[in-house]
Amino acid sequence: MRLFRSGCLVRTTHIILTWLTALVLFLHNTDLRKCEERGELLQPVLFGSVVLLSVMMYFTVSLMDPGFVLSDSNAESTIEDDEELEKMMPHRESSQGQRRCGYCFIMQPMRARHCKECKRCVRRYDHHCPWIENCVGERNHRWFLLYLCVQLLAVSWGLQTAWSGITFAPTWQQWFIQNGFLLGALAVTGIFSVVVLLLLCIHLYLAAINTTTWEFMSRHRISYLKTCDSEENPFDRGVICNLWDFFCVCRTVAWERVYSKRSDDAV
């Protein structure tokens, strides 16, 4: 149980499953194997590179800090040091500002939430992903989405490759014997293709409207959202600006000021 909680078992399972599936695709009579036999190495090298990149992205997202709130002084200094927001958005005390976490008792910035699995508060908390055994938050959310893009490319390519290696046989028994490992690879890549595609579409949509999975699912329980109209999002700046901020802005945002500015404009 301790090994599983540490994430070692989950990450080891991911690596074994990834490379076993890739090995099956290279060893059977698939398009990749046929390219190797003809001496055309571009496609096999590209496929291996995509798989390797997906593994590297997996560990990047899995092991990096998702945006843990370190301390009360850290939370306060982050807001004070954001000069750009200081100029653009007036500061005022708000009843929807920071509150103290009921678990770790540190001052919790707006849009942060305590993760019971990580036992830490996470800035712009989205969700805790059991497959990467880490939270998805302000610092690694964009990397999580990029990882989904690379993973979708790898599993969809693997799905097509596994299908290309399926051969016919005179009897069902011989067919299963010949294609057993490829059928397993086909099932793994097929299931992951559907799951990753759904996750990618969902997170692209959430990034486009500047909301998180937690805010989207629990809007009625979140103090700074339940007072807003059902269609109102105080952090939404339009699709283009939202996506630009999500992918290109690498700073900690003082969401209290963004919220206050939008509240003042509404009045």
* Residue 99, strand partner residues: 108
Q: Which residue type occupies 206? A: L
250 belongs to the catalytic site: no
Three-class SS string for 224-264?
HHHCCCCCCCCCCCCHHHHHHHHHHCCCCCCHHHHHHHHHH
User: For the purposes of burial, counting CB atoms within 10 Å of the CB of 255, is it exposed (0-12), middle (13-18) or buried (19 or more)?
Assistant: buried
Handedness of CA 197, 198, 201, 207 (dihedral sign): negative
Structure tokens belonging to residue 103: 């678990």
Q: Report helix, strand or coil for 76.
A: helix
Residue 59 one-letter amino acid: F
CA distance 228 to 103: 27
Q: What is the greatest pairwise CA distance in the chain?
A: 78
Contact (CB, 8 A) for 124 and 255: yes
Q: What is the four-CA torsion angle of 115, 116, 118, 124, rounded to 10 degrees?
A: 0
Nearest in space to 212 (alpha carbons), one of 125, 128, 134, 118: 125
Instruction: For the chain, report the end-to-end CA distance as a whole number of angstroms.
Output: 53
Q: Which two tokens stand for residue 200?
A: 């990618």
Q: Which of 129, 135, 228, 248 is catalytic?
A: 129
Active site (catalytic) residues:
129
